[in-house]
Amino acid sequence: MIQIKSITSENGLTAFIDFPHDLYKDDPNYVPELFIAQRELFTKHPFHEHSTVQCFLACDGDKVVGRIAAILNNRHNQYNQAAEGFFGFFDCVNDQIVANLLFAAVAEWLEERKVTKIIGPTNFSFNETAGLLIEGFEFPPVVMMPYNASFYQNLIESTGFTKKLDLLAFRFGENGYEDKSVRLLDQIQERLRRNRIILRKIDLKNFKEEAISIREVYNKAWDKNTGFVPMTNNEFDHITKELKMILDPDFCHVAEQDGIIVGFALAIPDFNQVLKKVKRGRLLPTGLFKILWNRKKVSGIRIILLGVIDGYRKMGIEACLYGTIIKEYRRKKLKYAEASWTLEHNHLINNAITAIKGEAYKKYRIYEKSI
């Protein structure tokens, strides 16, 4: 008989974090999350300063067969004047009964907190990993992007969830874009310079000041996107501290006019190539050695953030920021770059990517369901 258990202990959290390792042990594309990072996410992340998460495990006797988290994002509801809850961290054996019980536990927990709609998957919000992979299973996930079995789509939709929106991931091959696209970018940049807009690399010597300006751009540039909620100062500080450890200034560029940053783009090395070799996400006894040994072998990047504030869009800044990063990855002779994720209806960004020969190759879905 399947039992649903609320996670209330350290041992329960460990079982929650470890379950995907067993579920995907025979999947060649699976990449384990670092255990220490996942534990910190559930115990110390600034998200918990304003919102609540409850984790559940589905157990068949002593065997874990599924997991899920119910998420009450108070800032989302305040910002959007909504009464919505979220689900995340959904992993499950291919059994509809187990999936039904997991989602029923989430619905019950959220309904007790006056929620009228469930949205997901998000881990914990759109500011972290989000979406269910529905196309592109032949490719492994890149850093900080979700991965799941193909049967999840049927499990979720069979519980009554329907599509809210899709997210896209684009890929650039080893040769990047064509020379024609390069020449076009040079022409756009010259036009921007005539409007006193320049592109430059981030200044690591003044990283703290740069991060403050970038945070302002981030909160302005995404404010009309579906699901967006401005990051708190603590949340933004948390993510910038993490990213700074792997930041390459060649892949972090800002656009500024008269010294004021109006847009930025950030790419990070695809460390999933290294994490794939870390058994069950443990740094000890050999995981840390594998990361240090293999980090220079990383051959791809993920363009993780790109934003331009209102009033500076449709000037070509988006294409130039993408193009500048792609030129750098081509110069470094890397093998691929992924730009992810973008909203399916964000035609401005999507057109900027396809203009420099990015190919949409993965699709992720966000679901919703009324309680």
| pLDDT for the residue numbered 348 | 83
User: Could you give the dihedral angle defined by the CA atoms of residues 207, 211, 214 and 218, in that order, rounded to the nearest 10 degrees?
Assistant: 150
| pLDDT for the residue numbered 207 | 83
pLDDT tens sequence across 297-353: 889 999 998 889 988 988 889 888 888 888 888 888 899 999 999 999 989 889 888
| Burial environment of residue 81 by CB neighbours within 10 A (0 to 12, 13 to 18, 19 or more) | exposed
According to DSSP, the β-strands at 336-343 and 162-172 are antiparallel
Give the span between the Cα atoms of 45 and 334, in whole angstroms: 33
Q: How many residues does the chain have?
A: 371
- Domains of the chain are 2-165 (3.40.630.30), 172-365 (3.40.630.30)
CB within 8 Å of 262: residues ≥ 6 apart: 197, 217, 255, 256, 308, 309, 311, 312, 317
| pLDDT for the residue numbered 187 | 84
Give the tokens for residue 263: 């847009």
Q: 107 or 279: which carries more pLDDT confidence?
A: 107
Listed residue (107, 95, 101, 3) closest to 54, CA to CA = 107
| pLDDT for the residue numbered 118 | 98
Tokens 């994002």 -> residue = 73
Mean pLDDT of all residues belonging to the chain? 90
Give the span between the Cα atoms of 243 and 268, in whole angstroms: 8
CA dist list (Å): 207 to 66, 203, 212, 249, 308: 42, 6, 9, 11, 19
| pLDDT for the residue numbered 349 | 84
Give the span between the Cα atoms of 322 and 232, in whole angstroms: 27
Model confidence at 111, in pLDDT bands (50, 70, 90)?
A: very high
Tokens 């656009």 -> residue = 255
Give the mean pLDDT of 223-247: 81
pLDDT tens sequence across 258-308: 989 999 999 999 999 988 888 888 876 665 656 666 677 889 999 998 889
Q: Is 161 helix (H, G, I), strand (E, B) or coil?
A: coil
| pLDDT for the residue numbered 294 | 64
| pLDDT for the residue numbered 284 | 65
Listed residue (275, 325, 284) closest to 29, CA to CA = 275
Sign of CA dihedral 324, 296, 358, 221: negative
